[in-house]
Structure 1
């Protein structure tokens, strides 16, 4: 179980303070066993100063690391047990501030150690004591710098991961919006065609000479309502038809009968595609279901061409009870899988939008045989 940031900080503060206490007691024991010339250890006062130094370290080391390190460097002049807190104060400084600041404070401590031991001991004791203390300080500062570098690296990687997730989320959202726009355009084409047919037939009935007056008036209402619906449709959805200047007009919306032409187009582009169509009468499949089936196969062929170039693709379209089942599968290329391209999976997100709109299901992934499989089931209306 991962700890929350505040709990991790408190645990880290407690661990650093515990190390300071252990180091301070070791230094106090050393001073009692082998005191320097003229050194007299008064245990109660020494422990009081050491305890106060550890308390300062525990409470303020994150907020004011520079000030705490400087204050503790004065404290170990008064008590041997405060040396542990001084060392951990340098560690905190090195792990929370740039290396220039850490080295500057560590240099001041080194000068203080040189002067203090020069005044207190003999030449032999001076060299031994200074060497040990400076080595301890150097190791502690180096460890603190390593901790800071690791923290910065983790923060950098976390930020990059967050940006990558945000980028993927935006790409998925963009794919959804693009697919909805595409669906709106298709809806505009289909509805405009059917409403215009309704208006034409209503107009023919309205102006039929032998039609009863009530029937002609009703046909007139239907014709005017159809034209008003056309105008509303143009205002609400027609704006999505706007394209860049010079863009080619879109072809009529495809249906299930256009699948062989789509497969043949992929074959001419160099793909190895096998189409297995098991629909008794494709023309009887509703246009909206056939249109979605066409887009699913189109996206599956595009994915196969992009991620498994040269692979043999198998397309199966079958009427299974009240559903139209579509399956596109292909073997994966040999060797390790390449890293995902930016925007990879956006097309599948769009297909999910499209299939969900008509109450179908979409499934994709690796099959037990190691082939990539894209499968959809689209509901067919009752015959």
Structure 2
């Protein structure tokens, strides 16, 4: 019911003495015992109480005081009911509601007690004063609880989004540093080859020039991937990054910490993939094995690398492991985000999900461009 409708109903009941005729409730507290209050008295109180009811959510205490004043002269029990409900629903403070309810019960019950005795005064006072207050307390408390749950859910969602964004930013910064190292390594090779070209004095100049051109094209291709990726200003070493050739050492490290890992490498192309793709594959396997150690310690794990002239498929799967009991292991829930981000930045596709046997698998398909295409 809208404010207008509630205010109108309260005003009409106050002006006509409805919901509290003297034939049932007896004379008012002031002693007036007419069935209908005179217009000069009922209309002003009706207008005043109606206006207070209109602003009842802002002025619940003033509405209760005005309703009790009106009820002392005319029958304004409906106004008292609305005032007590509003006070309890808006404040939900037991001391204030208790004082208001007791004061209202006394002022409403005295004339009824005089007219009908305790048998009439007690149930009517409970119906007019206590019941609206209890209902208002219930509605107000439930509303506050729902609002708190909603605010908490929104706060948790914002925090989760912030953590995801921070994880993406950190991972992109790390990827950018790795890519910077790769490109720097390529350019360093170009500088060395250019120096060798100068020293050779035109001897084998064509061969060295081809090498410089190939290295330059690879560096340009990797620079395109670097554009738009944010990075920190930390100095990066000029050493080549690990790749598929270093997987044996990585697998051995995992075995030493208790992960039974098998490695299966198939290279139909017969050549090493581009340096950036090579390093991404290494990081992919490294992060996947780290996730196995965090979430499924001791699980049997299989790493498969399948390389064709145009595609590099990376597959890491594990079975069910032991329950996680080491509280020292950080579990941020963003490892898959880092894997997906790395694969996406080199133009690949990433999928992950549980396996039927209760394990987990991650798969990445990274395209490999031929040198002439690059």
Normalised by the shorter chain, which TM-score bucket?
A: 0.7 to 0.9
After TM superposition, the structure 1 = structure 2 runs for residues 314-353 of structure 1, keeping only pairs within 5 Å, are: 314-319=302-307, 322-332=310-320, 344-353=332-341
Q: More helix per residue: 1 or 2?
A: 1
Match of 1:197 in 2: 189
* C-alpha distance 19-255 of structure 1, shift in aligned 2 (>3 A): farther
Could you say what secondary structure the match of 2:72 adopts? coil
The answer as to whether partners of 1:168 and 1:343 remain within 8 angstroms in 2 is no
Query: Shift in Å at residue 204 of structure 1?
Result: 2.9
Q: Deviations over 1:284-324 (max 9, x none)?
A: 22221121112122222222221222222232222367322
Deviations 1:162-204 (A, max 9, x none): 2222221221122122112212221222222221221122223
Q: What is the Cα deviation at residue 103 of structure 1?
A: 2.1
Look up the match of 2:59: 64
* CA-atom RMSD in angstroms: 4.0
TM-score of the aligned structures, taking structure 2 as reference length:
0.75
Structure 2 vs 1, CA of residues 265 and 150 (structure 1 numbering), >3 Å: closer, same or farther? same
Distance in structure 2 (CA, Å) of the matches to 1:251 and 1:73: 86
C-alpha distance in 1, partners of 2:96/2:317? Answer: 61
TM-score, with length taken from structure 1: 0.73
1:187 aligns with 2:179: yes
Q: Please say if 1:100 is aligned against 2:92.
A: no
Deviation at 1:12, TM superposition (A): 6.8
CA-CA distance at 1:346 after TM superposition: 1.6
Comparing 98-107 with 43-52, which one deviates more in the overlay?
A: 43-52
Q: Distance in 2 between matches of 1:134 and 1:86?
A: 11
1:302 aligned residue: 290
Give, in whole Å, the separation in 1 of the partners of 2:148 and 2:201: 81
Secondary structure, counterpart of 2:96 in structure 1: helix
- Aligned-partner SS, 1:113: helix
1:31 and 2:16 equivalent? Answer: no
Gaps of 5+ in 2: 214-225, 324-328
Equivalences for 1:1-383 in 2 at 5 Å? 13=3, 28=18, 31=21, 34=24, 36=26, 39-42=33-36, 52=47, 55-56=50-51, 58-80=53-75, 82-97=76-91, 98-118=93-113, 120-121=114-115, 125-136=116-127, 137-209=129-201, 239-241=233-235, 252-280=240-268, 283-319=271-307, 322-332=310-320, 344-367=332-355, 370-382=358-370
Q: Distance in 2 between matches of 1:268 and 1:240?
A: 32
Q: Which runs of 5+ in 1 are unaligned?
A: 1-10, 223-232, 243-248, 336-340
Alpha-carbon spacing, 1:303–1:296, altered in 2? closer, same or farther (3 Å): same
Q: Distance in 1 between matches of 2:330 and 2:9?
A: 48
